[in-house]
Structure 1
Amino acid sequence: MSPRTMQYGNLRMTLPEGWSDGTQIVATGPAEQGFRSSLAVSSEPARPRETVTEYAARVAGMLSKVTEQFELVSERPATYGSVSGFMREYTHVARGVKLAQIQFYVLREGVVHTFTYTQRAERINVSRHVAERLFASVNLAPVSAPGASAAPVMRARARYVEPRFRRIIAA
């Protein structure tokens, strides 16, 4: 697949020169007092010979500039399940709500994958195990051979069809 091709599931697009794939995957948890925790996954090319720790340091400056009341809680190399990377936890304010985020950065084949778990700051300690379980479930398979699809193709689920309509569809 060309570096100017964006693919997720059955979506595939050719990007103009200078563009790169910025696909983000977002999963949300159940609503708790009007708030849903979330996990966002994004991928970005690392700089040549850049380590995951160097990448995390580079984006730390940007985080503090683009988030209101940014406060670093901790950061360190981390392993969740069989995947090693770098973990950062911080708090900030968004729309008047104090949030905590735990980020797990993983470098594979020149691409940094960032897994960001978001929760209300006052609930992060009781839900930390959820973030850790999500991070431990990460499985980054090697990229396929050139020309092969790197992302799984998501197929439409079969739908139930009333038996009386099957003859009409078959005709």
Structure 2
Amino acid sequence: MTASRDTSPLPTGHHLTRRTVVAAAGAGSLAVVLIGCGSGDDSGDDSDGDSGKGSSEPAGGKKKDGGGAAAAVLARTADIPVGGGKIFKDEGVVVTQPTKGRFKAFSNRCTHKQCPVTSVEGGTINCPCHGSKFDIADGSVRQSPATNPLPPAEIRVEGDAIRLA
């Protein structure tokens, strides 16, 4: 048996393992995904069709609040039917109005298998994958197989504008 010379750039006693290489590749891939998600490009679709020109709000329907953060108008209160709701797929939320003037928001992912919910009808938020139904007032399970309620989402109602908090 012949001895091989170690030409690795690592200090003596350090060896690359398959686990180290896989972990480094995974971390690099995650960094690329996170950079892509945080591009800061606000050129997305305006929910109210206003480009912000000639308006006191910056482009994209965003308004600075007292803390300096900007929150886009998700919907107008008139867009959310009393006793129903509206799903905002891109934002990952469902906004409901269980009773007149009372607005609630929840995750749009079913707690059973994480399928996106697709309708709000008859006082429930409905998942098409396995038939789970959630109450529009509190997100509680009204029909299984889901056993956990929809997680609440934070919104602010400012006049007739509904914004993610």
Q: TM-score range by the shorter chain?
A: under 0.3
Q: Which has the higher contact order (CA 8 A, sep 6+)?
A: 1
- The structure whose residues are more often strand, as a share, is 1
* TM-score, normalised via structure 1 length: 0.25
